[in-house]
């Protein structure tokens, strides 16, 4: 451990990048065993940069976008790097939960949903993104206080970059998802492109809930319990692990009150069943999420001066 520290410190940055570029494949870089963890940081950065640099080269230089991206990157690192298994945790948790739900709902209760394991997998991954981003909203102010105290900038960026960092982890989950889907013979076709509006809505809804949470935290400290309840309610009313047909028959209005019903239905149409989406619900969910975003930005701006005063 100490020797690694020494070596990486004595190398110049250029040497290090050259060494990384020639020796390490992407898979090895991700699943690097523990003794190499110190250099993992640089390997992963380098890997990300190889993917991102060609894209950003063609974009105009924009200070704000760069900043959001940088904050997302370091947030992503903070989330996974200090753990022994690093990114693997992003996979282990959902896989574990899927196994449990799968056993309960296919072996213990009879369940005749088509392709149930993918149905479940997609639901849990998408809902997991929401719960992680909205949970982060309660702490992002605390973690980034060092910036808020000293520099004037648009604080909404903090929430957006936090959401992007969760999406970065989500990309790895989706790679696993698509591998499983292909192996299990899911019907993947051109309808996959309708997954994009789903992701946009998911991003907007999650970051606006994060902002609303951050605002409430300014007034009430123990909002965590309320958040637990909201996430629990959402989990059981959005059809993460079962079809919502009966629920919607019983309370028709819930289709419009809970954007996740439409979101998950369309997500599954796109990436599990390969059928065209429910266009009405797609547009409704997009509009709903934009409205939510506008509301939460307004709410947050109205209260942001309380950050230093109350926390």
Task: Report the interface residues with other proteins, using CB under 8 A.
Answer: 8-9, 13, 41-42, 61-63, 66-67, 70-71, 74, 78, 82, 146-153, 219-223, 225-226, 305-310
Nearer to other proteins, 174 or 212 (CB): 212
184's CB contacts (< 8 A; 6+ apart) are: 115, 117, 118
207 contacts 293 by C-beta, under 8 angstroms:
yes
Nearer to other proteins, 17 or 248 (CB): 17
**Residue 167 Cβ vs other proteins, minimum distance, rounded to whole Å:** 19
Nearer to other proteins, 96 or 219 (CB): 219
**Residue 210 Cβ vs other proteins, minimum distance, rounded to whole Å:** 19
**Residue 306 Cβ vs other proteins, minimum distance, rounded to whole Å:** 8
**Residue 93 Cβ vs other proteins, minimum distance, rounded to whole Å:** 22
253 contacts 261 by C-beta, under 8 angstroms:
no
Neighbour count for residue 62 (Cβ, 10 Å):
11
Residue of 149, 142, 162 whose CA lies nearest to 74: 162
Nearer to other proteins, 37 or 67 (CB): 67
Nearer to other proteins, 28 or 310 (CB): 310
Helix 156-183 × helix 195-219 angle, to 10°: 140
What distance lies between CA 205 and its chain's CA centroid?
Answer: 12
Residue of 263, 115, 256, 112 whose CA lies nearest to 182: 115
What distance lies between CA 298 and its chain's CA centroid?
Answer: 23
**Residue 160 Cβ vs other proteins, minimum distance, rounded to whole Å:** 14
**Residue 309 Cβ vs other proteins, minimum distance, rounded to whole Å:** 6
Neighbour count for residue 74 (Cβ, 10 Å):
12
Burial status of residue 110 (CB atoms within 10 A of its CB: 0-12, 13-18, 19 or more)? exposed
**Residue 30 Cβ vs other proteins, minimum distance, rounded to whole Å:** 20
Please provide the size of the chain in residues.
311
Nearer to other proteins, 62 or 99 (CB): 62
Residue of 63, 218, 80, 67 whose CA lies nearest to 140: 218
Distance between first and last Cα of the chain: 39
Nearer to other proteins, 146 or 280 (CB): 146
Nearer to other proteins, 32 or 176 (CB): 32
**Residue 146 Cβ vs other proteins, minimum distance, rounded to whole Å:** 5
Neighbour count for residue 15 (Cβ, 10 Å):
10
Tokens of 203: 């991003």
């Amino acid at each position: 451990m100490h020797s690694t520290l020494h070596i990486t410190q004595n190398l110049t940055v250029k040497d290090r990048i050259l060494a990384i570029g020639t020796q390490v494949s992407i898979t090895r870089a991700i699943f690097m065993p523990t003794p190499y963890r110190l250099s993992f940081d640089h390997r992963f950065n380098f890997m990300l940069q190889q993917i991102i640099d060609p894209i950003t080269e063609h974009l105009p230089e924009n200070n704000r976008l760069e900043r959001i991206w940088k904050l997302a990157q370091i947030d992503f690192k903070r989330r996974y790097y200090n753990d022994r298994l690093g990114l693997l945790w992003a996979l282990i948790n959902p896989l574990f939960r899927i196994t449990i739900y799968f056993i309960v709902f296919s072996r213990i209760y009879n369940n005749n949903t088509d392709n149930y394991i993918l149905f479940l997998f997609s639901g849990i991954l998408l809902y997991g993104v929401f719960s992680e981003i909205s949970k982060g909203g309660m702490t992002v102010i605390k973690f980034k206080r060092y910036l808020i105290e000293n520099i004037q900038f648009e604080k909404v960026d903090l929430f957006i970059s936090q959401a992007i960092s969760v999406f970065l982890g989500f990309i790895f989950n989706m790679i696993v998802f698509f591998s499983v889907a292909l192996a299990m013979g899911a019907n993947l076709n051109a309808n996959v492109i309708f997954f994009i509006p789903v992701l946009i809505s998911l991003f907007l809804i999650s970051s606006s809930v994060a902002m609303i949470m951050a605002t409430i935290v300014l007034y009430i400290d123990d909002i965590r319990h309320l958040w637990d309840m909201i996430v629990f309610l959402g989990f059981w009313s959005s059809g993460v692990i079962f079809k919502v047909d009966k629920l919607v028959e019983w309370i028709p209005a819930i289709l419009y009150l809970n954007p996740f019903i439409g979101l998950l239905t369309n997500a599954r149409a796109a990436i599990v069943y390969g059928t065209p989406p429910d266009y009405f619900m797609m547009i409704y969910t997009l509009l709903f999420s934009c409205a939510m975003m506008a509301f939460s930005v307004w709410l947050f701006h109205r209260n942001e001066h309380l950050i230093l005063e109350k926390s």
